[in-house]
Chain A
Amino acid sequence: MSLLPLAAPAALFLSALLFLTEGALASRKAPSLRKIHLPLFSLLLLLSLVPLLFSAPESLFHGQFLWDSLSRCSGLLLGFSALSAMLLLPGYSRKSEVPGAETAALLFLGNLALLLLSSTTHLLTALLALEAFSFITVLLGGILRDRRSSEGAMKTFFLGLTASLFSLFGLALLFGATGKADIASLVSLSPSPLLKAGLLLFLFSFLFKFAMAPLHSWAPDLYQVAPAPLGAYLSTAPKVGIALFLLRLSPALTPLLPFLGAFVIVTVLWGNLCALRQEDLRRLAAYSSVAHSGYMALALLLPSPFRGNALLFYLTVYVIMNLSLFQALSLLPEGPELSPSLENLKGWGKDEPWIAGFLAFALLSLAGFPPTPGFLAKAILFLPALEKGLFLPVGAALLGTLISVAAYFRLFAPIYFSSGSTLKGGDRRGRALLALSSLLLLVLTLWPKGLTLLIKEVFSHV
């Protein structure tokens, strides 16, 4: 048995240790070293995963850890998300209140937990990884440690704890009913009521963390109080880990498809409707991410070859466009009592034409406007869903898309149609990162075939 596949998790763990040590040793006044090696280190890590992308899958510890091309994809997306958070932090308006080394350590540990989650075929490991990440969610979300962020973090913590108890109970039922807790054996068993109930309860915590309505109520509170750079991470990374785990679990979910369908319908409608009413930009982004969870969950209802293709395409596009959105938002100044709202975007189009253009592009893509990648992701998703006859979820998703257009276009009015004093924040790094995300979106717009080919390659190696 080769332990080589463990290299990536080990590297994540060791980096986290490194940063923890540094955080403990370094005085608060010497951040210069951190500034340079933080992003570089993670960039190297990200790149080191790429050559390993397409090789034969390897399974360790009886399937507890499966290192295949899907896990590598997950590593890449998670790496991009964490990298984005780290590059944004130096330009963040309240950076003096964010402990740099500890945040970096938490981001690496978070990626470790999510990488494990997306690389396991065992339900117990999955639940443990998810729980590990939920602690990191709370710590990252409340890292500013003022009253508001502590409140948001605590809400998330207690609600999350309740949700995981359901999952634990579900796992117990499953194990009691079958004596097994790995995905392969769950698929082979004929569905009994006990099995169904167990699976449904087990899913509870996953749907909660995935922010599916009506289990989403923590998300707006947490995203609003988390620093915007960490909001970028918290709104993308967990979706990657959970979505890919659910993709692995999906063959076992066949008896639960109607339940999932109901969740999809409620989520796409409720998320978009709530986004329509928000004044606070990060709450708006939170509800938008809730709605996008619904679209991704719709992919799980599809038959096999389409399921993975649609989900991975949507997930990749979602990560890029949502990071763009948060990268733009993190250029706005924040304060203990100040949360950026629509008003703060006034005059951007005139004073910051490039930043405004990038943000507009991301918004169009989030709204699913053709020819942006957001549209293609939806087309690739809706087409097989209609062929399978999922009229109700697709209808709801289309209606949700319509509502979301109204929601996202509310941002255009202050940006382009009114002038005002612009509050500027952020630094060059953040701007460059936003430009990079937009460039990626542009490449996907002009050459979407590249991504579809890549995804095909991924699934030919699973």
Chain B
Amino acid sequence: METLALIETLDRDGQPRQILRVSQWPVRIGRAIDCDLVLDDPHVAAHHATLAWRDDGLHIEPAASVNGVRLGRAAIAPGSSPPLPASGLMTLGATTLRVRLASEALAPEQRLVDLHQHERRHAATLMALILIAALWKGFELWLATVPGTPSSALAWGYLSAPAGLIVWCAVWAIGSMLFQRRFAFWAHLQVALTWLLIAVVAEAVTAQIAFALSMPAIEKLGRLVFVGAIAMMMWHHMGLLLPQRRRAFAIAIASAVTVGGGLLLADRSLQQEPLIGDLYLGTISLPGVRLAKAVPVDAFVKSAAPLEKTLSQWAKPGDDDDDAPSEDEE
């Protein structure tokens, strides 16, 4: 017999749990044995609803029940029998059903996103990233220690970062497990490594350039790149969890950065602190890195004159906030 439709009983994740092939209308749905589709749901009536074919298509005809039938969030008003919505989704009691009609146009086939395959393909990239990160971390550690530091002390410092990274990626992978049924550890590791590297390298490089050219603004730019890279990392992590929600995540992260950043800027401005970065450029590099010319003392002091105007503005009475913290000297 010709199949007119499929009625799928969906589980909480939206996956079909039970499928009924329909070869003739109407279809009676309920808990009673004599229904065409028998639902094992205590919130469904013995005869809950009927799907009937009319001239203009399939209609839902709710029977008398306590919980009724809902389309999306809207309950069907008693006595009415609306047409099936385009999504084909309806909820009876606590059970969600999806009706697929044979006449529906099929969506084109989608390319398979196989995370494991993805990981295999990116294994070389990942190895390269791990190598770069290891070298970077090693260099950082070497810079910060004095000759003759015991190797055990070095090892602790060296291992704490990868350990933290593993925990971080494992937590995200558990998230993937929840939504994607895959423990996508390597994919998350690649996301984390890529963006963390971009963040720290951008910060370090801009600090060096800022020193070379004597332009503190470049270092501040580096801080912005750092924040941007961390935001991108979060977005990619979240995108791996629920790829179909990428847009929503982008909006959420952009709003969080905007609101958080805005609050931070407002606070810093209130405290008369520089909006981004430190009070002054703290980088000292090798003598050969310096490109900017040094100015004579007189010229330097002379060009500090505009400070007076800013400071006299800052010192102006007005909103005399006595709650400002006082410096404790003793």
Report whether chain A binds chain B.
no
